[in-house]
Amino acid sequence: MVNRRTFVTVVGGGIAASATLALGGTILARQATPDATPAASPADGGAPGGMPPLPAGAVPVAQGLWNPQDLAFGPDGTLYIAENGIAGGGGEPGTMATPGPDGTPVTASPMIVPSQLSAVAPDGTQAVLTTEAGGVGIGYYDGEVFLAQGGGSVGTGFTPLPAENTVSAYNLETKAVRVVASLGPYEAENNPDGLDVNPNLYGMAISADGQIYQVDAGGNTIYKIDAKSGEFSLFAVVPNLTDLTGATPTAEEQAQQPGPRQPVPTSVVLDADSTVTVTLLGEGWPGPSILNFAADGSSYTEGISGLSMIVNSALGPDGLLYVSQLTSDMSTGAPGAVLRINADGSVEPVVEGLLFPHGIAFSTEGHLFVATNSIISTPEAPMGMVLRFDNVGGASPAASPAA
């Protein structure tokens, strides 16, 4: 069972200095090989040195990224990439800081590599746009790229990340960065879900009229933010899985994570009918993997169950929901996948064998773009990539239901 607080801190807060995964309160570090370096060119079709082969059909479109987390397209076809950077630990650079056995906080060192925003132009040119903003969630609206920075300093003793738990905007014309909304203090002061106080922003979606729907994975909440004014409100509290299922955690599970089993929302998409679809991380605990909220957030219906380690989602050109699975086995760091949720509720892998996939997005042509190697970069080697898989968002064949 994944330790929730550590997971959202590591993956959502940019704390990972290598492929660091939380396993029931312990840390499993899968270090990149010492000679691991980016491939010479995104066009050569190869994986970075020392990494496993790319899945069949993968076309690299960006390489040398610092833990890429989320993707968004602009209207001209430019692909924007939110990179989470690398934060240090409490000791040597590249190590992970954790509270001591008595719970005494350990202060983490500053960012080793800052979060940043990169872009790939339609002609394939890759460039860093700014190091003043980056993170784990991204969206485009009206000439600005919006970025959500997570972080897990509250309750852990970590030094807060720059712009921790804020939504920022990068203006493509002026190149200026502005803070749109600071959401961490709201969680700290109000604790909407009534559980532990643990703000940690994750994925976002932006409506056609400029309303940002922002996930707080640690706070189990969804916020609605006006992209221009920055005014925000609490859209919905995501119910905990204990209440949803009526199931009682075992003594072992209670020891790992006291209290109700928390849902850990990770991403949100907006359907054409104004439904707000929220995906949940999934840690082997019974309960829905997807919740479909009404447009005003006042009610929800449960979607399918049985998914695990879901960290991002997107609507395909076919109108179906696609989700990225960070790993198929958290205990070993096994390859993850991108899954399609068919109209009958069945689940179908469309791309497998991905190394820690995270953000996904579709081009207008129906090609799938996936950010991979999302939590394995070291201070010496940016290992992140974006891969393209052509014509994925088309008609879906029959598939088997989720387990």
pLDDT for 12: 44
In terms of average pLDDT, the best of 45-49, 142-146, 261-265 is 142-146
For the segment 374-396, the average pLDDT, to the nearest whole number, is 87
Range of lowest pLDDT (13-27, 63-77, 138-152, 387-401): 13-27
Does 43 fall in a domain?
no
Does 398 fall in a domain?
no
Residue 151 and residue 115: Cα distance in Å, rounded?
12
The answer, yes or no, to whether residue 390 has pLDDT greater than 70, is: yes
pLDDT for 364: 92
Residue 107 and residue 87: Cα distance in Å, rounded?
12
46 C-beta neighbours (distance < 10 Å), count: 16
Question: 375 near 19, Cβ under 8 Å?
Answer: yes
* DSSP, residue by residue, 22-74: EETTEEEEEPPPTT----S-GGG-PPPTTSPPPPTT-EEEEEEESSEEEEEE-
252 C-beta neighbours (distance < 10 Å), count: 9
Does 279 fall in a domain?
yes
Q: pTM for the full model?
A: 0.86
Does 402 fall in a domain?
no
pLDDT band at 100 (very low <50, low <70, confident <90, very high): low
The answer, yes or no, to whether residue 91 has pLDDT greater than 50, is: no
The answer, yes or no, to whether residue 198 has pLDDT greater than 70, is: yes
The answer, yes or no, to whether residue 29 has pLDDT greater than 60, is: no
The answer, yes or no, to whether residue 40 has pLDDT greater than 80, is: no
Q: Between these two residues, 25 and 90, which has the higher pLDDT value? A: 90
pLDDT for 253: 74
Mean of the per-residue pLDDT values of the chain: 83
pLDDT band at 260 (very low <50, low <70, confident <90, very high): confident
Does 69 fall in a domain?
yes
pLDDT band at 105 (very low <50, low <70, confident <90, very high): low
Pairing relation of β-strands 368-372 and 26-30? Answer: unpaired
Which of 199, 268, 280, 279 has its CA nearest to residue 235? 268
Does 36 fall in a domain?
no
Residue that is written with structure tokens 């190091």 in the block: 131
The answer, yes or no, to whether residue 6 has pLDDT greater than 90, is: no
Does 373 fall in a domain?
yes
The total number of structural domains in the chain stands at: 1
User: Which residues constitute the domain of residue 187?
Assistant: 4-29+59-389
Residue 324 and residue 371: Cα distance in Å, rounded?
10
pLDDT band at 383 (very low <50, low <70, confident <90, very high): very high
183 CB-near residues (< 8 Å, 6+ apart): 165, 166, 167, 199, 201, 214, 216, 223, 232
CATH number at residue 318: 2.120.10.30
Range of lowest pLDDT (84-98, 169-183, 380-394): 84-98
The answer, yes or no, to whether residue 50 has pLDDT greater than 70, is: no
The answer, yes or no, to whether residue 30 has pLDDT greater than 90, is: no
* DSSP, residue by residue, 253-319: HHHHS-SSPP--EEEEEE-TTS-EEEEE---S-SSBSEEEE-TTSS-EEE--B---SEEEEEE-TTS
Does 48 fall in a domain?
no
Question: Which tokens sit at 400?
Answer: 């088997």
